[in-house]
Amino acid sequence: MSANADSGLKGNRDVTDTEGDYSIYPHMDGIKSSMSWKLGCYGERGALSKDMIGSLAEQFDLPTKLVRELSVFLGNCLNNDDDIAINLTEVRRSQAIERGQKHLKQLLRKAKQSSIGPQELRNALGSLSTYFAATPEDGDLLDQVLDKLETATTLTQDVIDDIRHILVTPGAVAEMSPRDKRFSRDKRRQYIVESCCYIWKDAGRPLTYTTYSDGRPGGQRQGPLVNFIQAVVKMITEPGQILSGETIRVDIDDFRGKLEREEKERWAPPELANQYT
């Protein structure tokens, strides 16, 4: 996230106390980039082009109608409308400021030792946020340094002094990574894998994968469904990426568990149905 990319965050405060410690819930897309999803507003046309739909239908012997449905599902998963809370994560004020200070101290040390160039320093500073700055003037401090570094060919003493000034200004910078990465799951990925599984199931295919332990190319988890998911993911990322086989395995297992719970709830007596939700 750049220092100027905070406009989408400020509507997500969960308290109005700007002096105390609190959490905000920004979109994960603006904080970490484990996958370069092709976000957009796709509507009913879906996320896949006509050629992509034809390619998937032919390669995996699927009805074109089902792949078109998948395209619409994927478009919903990749919607970047700020009003859709599909992929939120928690950022804690005190933690974000502490991480920002630590990052800035490391950069200051490198700048003093001349072990970092102006543009590298500018890129590193640009990953910080001014969201928690106490005043607009405090928030401008980082932008001023970035402006100086934009055309700089060497690091000057005034830049180093400016970084020192930011360090002694509480809240002037923050590092906006999730409060606890263990609970920051990429829900877009989860929903995309689920969409693929729904289509695969509707085509009458088994929700299975094969496990190999002989180190063969392609990873430990393989099979037609895994290959299908990887092909889809490669089409909706830029540049094209694939998921780890183990990640896909976890998501397939979760999806199968979800179907089993839904089936139990469907046939359970009313007094027992709630235990499956």
Q: What is the DSSP string of 96-121?
A: HHHHHHHHHHHHHHHHHTT-S-HHHH
pLDDT of residue 164: 96
Segment 205-228, tens digit of pLDDT = 999 999 877 666 666 788 999 999
What pLDDT score was predicted for residue 18?
A: 45
Mean pLDDT of the chain: 81
pLDDT at 277 over 60: no
For residue 251 the two structure tokens come to: 């998501």
Q: pTM for the full model?
A: 0.55
Let me know the angle formed at the C-alpha of 41 by 182 and 35, rounded to the nearest 5 degrees. 30
Mean pLDDT along residues 144-163: 93
Q: Confirm if 107 and 121 have CB atoms less than 8 A apart.
A: yes
What pLDDT is attached to residue 41? 87
> How do residues 229-265 score in pLDDT, each as one tens digit?
999 999 999 888 888 888 899 999 999 998 988 877 7
pLDDT at 8 over 50: no
Tokens, residue 143: 């932008």
Query: pLDDT tens-digit profile of 173-201?
Result: 998 876 555 545 567 888 899 999 999 99
